[in-house]
Structure formats: C-alpha cells, structure tokens
C-alpha cells in the first residue's frame, strides 16, 4: 500500500496500540481482558505494520523463523509453569499450594503465577497472528 497519509497515521498509531495491548496483558489478573485480548491487540498492530509497509519490511523487523520460535515458546512456557505445580503438589496449574506467593490483593505483583500464564498466552496469540498473516502474504507473492 503506497499512500502517504496511511503510512504517517499508522506510524503514529502503532506504538499506542502496542502499549495498550501490553497494558492489558500485564493487568490481566486485575481487570477485564487478559492474554487473548491483549495479544490480539499487539498482533493486530503487527499485522497493520505488515500490510502498510509490505511483507519485506515486516520480515526485516520480525523474521518468520523468529516469530515461529516465539509462538512455540509461548505454549512451552504455559506447559512448564503448569508442570511446576504438578511436580511440587500433584495437580496441573496448582497455584497457592505449590508455593507461589499470592502477594497483596489488587497490586500488580500478586496472584501467584497467573500473570506469567497471561504473559505466555499474550506472546502466543500475538506471534500466531503475525505468523498467520506472513504465511498468507507469502503464499501468493509470486506475482
């Protein structure tokens, strides 16, 4: 897409979209939203960049191999955090009984491992979206 206004506006807008997405991911255990909503926001900002500036610029910022690696890392982090509880207590994703500190209610660093899980889900969703779009654009870029 070769339009000056679209490029300028999206260049101004993308950092704020990403900041809002990261805010929602980090506050997933306190307010509404969480891993999926915040990850979808971050992923949609990456998709906007890929569509406005083209596939080549997008792959320069975030190569396909790296985003594939990050995508698998999100799932792996979720499973590993779940298995910590399974090894220590005996049930998958056990939180307080496995020794995670619950902290003070309502603060950012609280609720044990749930912020880590939300972060893993957010990373997974965001990188899945950009991987999907890059694969779709690459499929018919032979023209």
Partner 1 sequence: MMFEWFNVILVIFLIVCAIAVERTKDLLAAVIIFASYSLFMSVLWLLLAAPDIALTEAAIGAGVTTLLFLVVISRTTRMEK
Interacting residues toward partner 1 by CB under 8 A: 1, 24, 32-34, 36-37, 40-41, 43-44, 47-48, 51, 129, 133, 136-137, 140
Cα 57 from chain centroid (whole Å): 20
Minimum distance of partner 1 from residue 95's CB (angstroms): 20
3-state helix, strand, coil in the chain (%, to 5): 70, 0, 30
To the nearest whole angstrom, how small is the minimum distance from the Cβ of residue 111 to partner 1?
16
Nearer to partner 1, 36 or 53 (CB): 36
Which residues, 6 or more positions from 135, have their beta carbon under 8 angstroms from its beta carbon? 64
Report the nearest approach of partner 1 to the CB of residue 27 (Å).
12
Q: Considering the complex, state which of residue 47 and residue 98 has its C-beta at the smaller distance from partner 1.
A: 47
Q: Nearer to partner 1 by C-beta: 17 or 75?
A: 17
Which residue in 138, 123, 119 sits closest to 50, CA to CA? 138
C-alpha 84/C-alpha 109 separation (Å) is 19
Instruction: Tell me whether residue 48 or residue 93 sits nearer to partner 1 (CB atom).
Output: 48
Smallest distance from the beta carbon of 96 to partner 1, in angstroms?
24
Q: Structure tokens of 44?
A: 């949609």
CB contact at 8 A, 38 and 74: no
């Amino acid at each position: 897409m070769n339009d000056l206004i679209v490029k300028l506006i999206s260049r101004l807008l993308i950092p704020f979209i990403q900041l809002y997405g990261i805010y929602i991911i980090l506050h997933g255990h306190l307010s509404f939203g969480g891993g999926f909503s915040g990850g979808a926001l971050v992923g949609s900002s990456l998709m906007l960049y890929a569509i406005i500036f083209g596939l080549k610029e997008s792959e320069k910022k975030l190569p396909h191999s790296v985003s594939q690696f990050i995508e698998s890392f999100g799932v792996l982090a979720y499973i590993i955090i779940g298995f910590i509880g399974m090894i220590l207590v005996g049930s998958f994703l056990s939180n307080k009984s496995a020794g995670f500190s619950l902290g003070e209610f309502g603060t950012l660093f609280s609720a044990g491992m749930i912020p880590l899980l939300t972060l893993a889900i957010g990373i997974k969703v965001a990188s899945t979206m950009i991987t999907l779009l890059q694969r779709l654009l690459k499929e018919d870029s032979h023209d």
